[in-house]
A and B are shown apart, each in its own frame.
Chain A
Amino acid sequence: EPEVTQTPSHQVTQMGQEVILRCVPISNHLYFYWYRQILGQKVEFLVSFYNNEISEKSEIFDDQFSVERPDGSNFTLKIRSTKLEDSAMYFCASSGEQGWANQPQHFGDGTRLSIL
């Protein structure tokens, strides 16, 4: 079964540094998402992306965050100047042809981001 892959599995970064989290969605999927889970808290939606633009973002997704699909396979999340509170597990997900209409999202293994 095709999978969503994320790299790295664990990223340790100094506060204030930029970090890029990488995802390779399932190849024929068109909708891409980032979620995060702070330790002990709920999985939270960050952003959705379709047709090379952000389709929706949460209040968490402020100017420090950006997403990009630089080529036909990768989907990246960049945090420009990391803060301690950005420490979390970040999950990438993708879904198929029809956005809201009945396509479940497939998740990657996640990247654990630790800010020191």
Chain B
Amino acid sequence: AQSVSQHNHHVILSEAASLELGCNYSYGGTVNLFWYVQYPGQHLQLLLKYFSGDPLVKGIKGFEAEFIKSKFSFNLRKPSVQWSDTAEYFCAVSTKAAGNKLTFGGGTRVLVKP
């Protein structure tokens, strides 16, 4: 069965700082990878997804993620964060063997100080 781990539970940074959130998964076969964001009081929203092709994926709001198959990683990056990026970020994976269900990481709470 697949699993997902996110290295940081909490990240605090200042506006304009760069952000990188780690995500590793364990599964030997083909995967779909996702980053979701949950702003305070709101639902999970899809930031970006990787299915195939270019391993560098660009999403909404200036976020990008890079799939490194050899490292089983899908780290999320943003070069310059804003206060409005304060949210919880979830990495998730789905595999063909497990149908379309998502397996989530534990989430990373990001606080951007103005």
A residues whose Cβ falls under 8 Å from a Cβ of B: 4, 31, 33, 35, 41-45, 48, 55-56, 58, 91, 93, 95, 99-100, 102-110
Contact = CB atoms under 8 A, between A and B. Distances in A.
Contact of B101 (A4, A56, A91, A106): A56
Nearest to A99: B100
A100 B100 contact: yes
Contacts of B99: 48, 55-56, 99-100
B107 A45 contact: no
B106 interface: yes
A115 B51 CA distance: 39
A45 B51 contact: no
Nearest to B52: A102
A116 B112 CA distance: 36
A109 B100 contact: no
Nearest to B51: A102
A105 to B, nearest CB: 6
B100 A103 contact: yes
A106 B34 CA distance: 12
Interface residues of B, number: 25
Contact of B43 (A44, A56, A107): A107
Interface string B81-111: 0000000001010111011111111110000
B78 to A, nearest CB: 20
B103 A106 contact: no
Given A44-B104, A100-B32, 6 more contacts: A33-B101, A42-B105, A43-B104, A48-B99, A107-B36, A109-B42
